Structure 1
Amino acid sequence: MRARSEYLDWLIDELAPLGTIRARSMFGGWGLYCEELFFAIVDDDVLYLKADALNRAAFVAEGVAPFSYTARGKVQTMSYYRLPDAALDDATALQHWARTGFEAALRAAAAKARR
């Protein structure tokens, strides 16, 4: 299990206004859950937030990259996008971006429940 970092603990504190936040070790990094919905990845002290058809364009407009990793020699990309750097210095912006990731997780859960 990877040790928790000061950055991860800081994120959990900063994101608390969204709801109950917990971190779970995974992918060699951390998965973040809000109200038990997986909505973010923290890898090497970088926050990636869940994206879908409704919020992806905002991430793309900011020029941030999606989370990717290499498995079996192939690059795999997930629909989680890096937090824009400017949001690290502004709690309101951080919470706004995180809320968009949480809302994408809510939409995914609702779609899964309808199946």
Structure 2
Amino acid sequence: MKSTTIDTLARVEDLLKALGEVQCRSLFGGYSLTIDKAAFGMLVEGELFLRANEQSANYFTQRNASKLKFTRRGRPVYLNYYQVDNELWDNPDLLVRLAANSITRANEDIAHRQQELRVKDLPNLSLQYEIWLWEVGIGDVPTLKAYGSKACWLKLRTIKKNCGIKTLYALEGAIVGLHEAALPAETRRELYEWFIKQPSSLSEG
């Protein structure tokens, strides 16, 4: 960790000590800041970025604050975090209020996720499959079910060239709530007949 980042972290810890103990871990080339597991900010190259909610987003956009950006697969990805400028640092009461709002929003998201079934929680699917599906634009269970197993398989094959019949069975089973081995024979036969008609179909090992 660079000295500028260390200095900023110490400044954040001192400012927000009334809100709780600030934890710091490496993430996306910077450092994620949490209090009681609620991610409220990021430190990147010595700069503090606060996670936005509706109220703070209006504040930051009115001041043309910079959004946090990182690069994924050669493309820029913007996160919902805004840079804290000198004017905001000079207004510690406001900065603490904004940080508290960020923590509240993060805690609300944690509670929502705990109630919401994730893709990786479905039969046959793992965290790795969840990541692959997220990369092709399928980030939740309703979207997975809306696309169906065949469309999801076609999307996965754009990034996973050895995507084969077992993946197709796994996706169908996840959607209907069955282990892929328990799929009805008629369903497996229909999926297999569709699969072999796809250009450059590959078998999985």
TM-score range, shorter chain: 0.7 to 0.9
Residues 53-97 of structure 1: per-residue CA shift (max 9 Å, x gap) = 454223212321211112222101111111243121122122112
Residues 28-67 of structure 1: per-residue CA shift (max 9 Å, x gap) = 2211001121111010111111124454223212321211
Look up the equivalent residue of 2:34 and give its one-letter code. Answer: Y
| Match in the other structure for 1:44 | 45
Q: Does 1:77 align with 2:69?
A: no
Residues 1-26 of structure 1: per-residue CA shift (max 9 Å, x gap) = x3451121111111111112111122
Give the unaligned 5+ runs of structure 1.
none
Radius of gyration: which is bigger? Answer: 2
Distance 1:69 1:106 in 2: 24
Which TM-score applies when normalising by structure 2? 0.50
What are the equivalent positions in structure 2 for 1:1-115 lying under 5 Å apart?
2-3=1-2, 5-53=6-54, 55-115=56-116
The alignment of Structure 1 onto Structure 2 pairs a total of residues equal to 114
Matched position secondary structure for 1:49: strand
8 Å CA contact 2:39, 2:106 repeated in 1: yes
| Match in the other structure for 2:199 | none
Q: Displacement of 1:113 after TM fit?
A: 2.3
| Match in the other structure for 2:146 | none
Distance 1:103 1:61 in 2: 22
| 114 and 11 in structure 1: CA distance in 2 versus 1, 3 angstrom threshold | same
Distance 2:89 2:68 in 1: 18
| 64 and 77 in structure 1: CA distance in 2 versus 1, 3 angstrom threshold | same
4+ residue runs over 6 A deviation: none
8 Å CA contact 1:55, 1:104 repeated in 2: no
8 Å CA contact 2:53, 2:105 repeated in 1: yes
Distance 2:23 2:82 in 1: 19
Matched position secondary structure for 1:69: strand
* Identity between Structure 1 and Structure 2 (%): 23
Q: Which has the higher strand share?
A: 1
8 Å CA contact 2:51, 2:81 repeated in 1: yes
Distance 1:95 1:42 in 2: 16
8 Å CA contact 1:83, 1:97 repeated in 2: no
8 Å CA contact 1:25, 1:31 repeated in 2: yes
